[in-house]
Structure 1
């Protein structure tokens, strides 16, 4: 019997999953250390597609307060992307807070992960060894490959050609559609910077771009990374259009728009 690895991994999405890490993890609130441990685990609640960190309760340097049972009345439909609130839990446990120098932070104690506290990522500052991390902890089972390509790419919306390129930089990321990062000179549409800014744990802070001539359909149709981490330097300043929002014609073949958390 043959098993596709992706299907095997996806079959566990309904379970509470965890994976130990050998990294030293430090959690801070302003300049106060909340926890420092080399026994942290990565935790995916059911239906969560990115992990959080859980630390042993014994390694917390502050007291857990206001612990109360969390009643799972109904499991939310669909996958929970990083934009979903930490307070939206999908398994039984207790909710609580810990108070740090920068204020209170959310905590979740899953019933099936005894002795561990999952800390809300955005309530604290996080470090792996001596490097700060952002967005969310990286998934050890996810990777990114960047490759130069000779595919001929046309980005279109209605009758408008927004960009065309014969030398895209392709980014392959686990469980996501391939992305085409184009040189600014390959972009034909007049794009304006929008107020939208997002964070990727792997690529950093993303600037978003809109095409005013497309009206509402042109809002936030592309993004770029102006200052990505060193390992992602190849995509610096390149423009990537959402395949979910515009049409891509690759080597003369129009592709289907993928369905992802970023679909309209």
Structure 2
């Protein structure tokens, strides 16, 4: 039996993992074990996805929560390593570019366990972004790099990585095909929020350079207030905390959900 440990922690990763996790269920020779780091600690950003989208429940929940990048990654690294030592997987599978991604890849590499990276090769070429650091380091630690685009394949080749690189397409597109019927049949969000199609815009603010700078955050919220239509704003827990801390007023045309 080939044992695969999948490391998840952030909201998009739960959705991205669904197509592969479902495929694993049909492979008798593959056993998947899921670790949820708890990087996204809010209920609406975590458990609800497993319930509504019928995703496989995690075998391990690490409850790491929100910390500085270094502390969060370090706590994840220790906890993931403990699971890897216990479970002895043949491979560790990681997605994207979060702290959970890097911690999973690093824990595996330190134990000489092969790493497979979904969404490998993506680059912003902005090393001030924490995600960019995570992407580059995870690709370096991986034995299998599953790239979503031909451009991402070229990115890793330019960095000298030529073995184990595969162009496989975008897993988010696979997830869209998997869940589109559920979304269309079950979603009542417009009705629930009293919204009409094409009469609003959707906005999100969660990047640290935007949320952690009070002046920048206020400027973004001011720009929203000037728009001639409703702004639907699904608010991230950290963003909500920073808006409150900076005493930023919410304009009448901004609908927080």
Scaled to the shorter chain, the TM-score interval is: under 0.3
More helix by share: 2
Structure whose CA Rg is larger: 1
Q: TM-score, normalised by structure 2?
A: 0.25
Q: TM-score, normalised by structure 1?
A: 0.24
More strand by share: 1
